[in-house]
């Protein structure tokens, strides 16, 4: 499970307007979708927050996918005069007793840890 959150999104809306914010959301969604594999599932789960369900994926591969997404968001054309960044958290398990909610919660906690450690 990968949970991501666009950094400083409120500032983007406040500085450039909601139309620009919507374009940033669309840009981030397209990056996530383009880095998803056939069996993965990407979804917007909040204002500037996205989830990517990584099917049959170990920790090393999940981290590599997250890094590719992070780099694509930072390097991409977000239609803003400033560079976009994204914070992500990853949680992987092969334990079938772990609920989907627990996976989301653990990935979300990892994402907030990334935000607290400098974002991006």
The catalytic position among 33, 48, 49, 59 is 48
Per-residue tokens: 62: 């999940």
**Among 110, 33, 44, 65, which Cα is nearest to 102's?**
110
Which of 104, 114, 27 lies closest to 72 in space, CA to CA?
27
* Residue 48: active-site member: yes
Q: How far is CA 7 from the centre of its chain?
A: 10
Catalytic site residues?
A: 48
């Amino acid at each position: 499970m990968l949970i991501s959150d666009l950094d400083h999104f409120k500032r983007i809306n406040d500085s450039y307007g909601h139309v620009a914010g919507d374009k940033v959301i669309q840009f981030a969604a397209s990056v996530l979708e383009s880095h998803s594999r056939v069996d993965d599932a990407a979804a917007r789960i909040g204002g500037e927050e996205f989830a990517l369900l990584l099917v049959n994926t170990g920790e090393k591969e999940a981290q590599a996918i997250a890094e590719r997404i992070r780099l694509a968001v930072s390097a991409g054309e977000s239609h803003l005069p400033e560079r976009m960044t994204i914070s992500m958290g990853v949680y992987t398990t092969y334990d079938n007793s772990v609920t989907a909610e627990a996976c989301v919660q653990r990935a979300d906690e990892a994402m907030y840890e990334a935000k607290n450690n400098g974002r991006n």
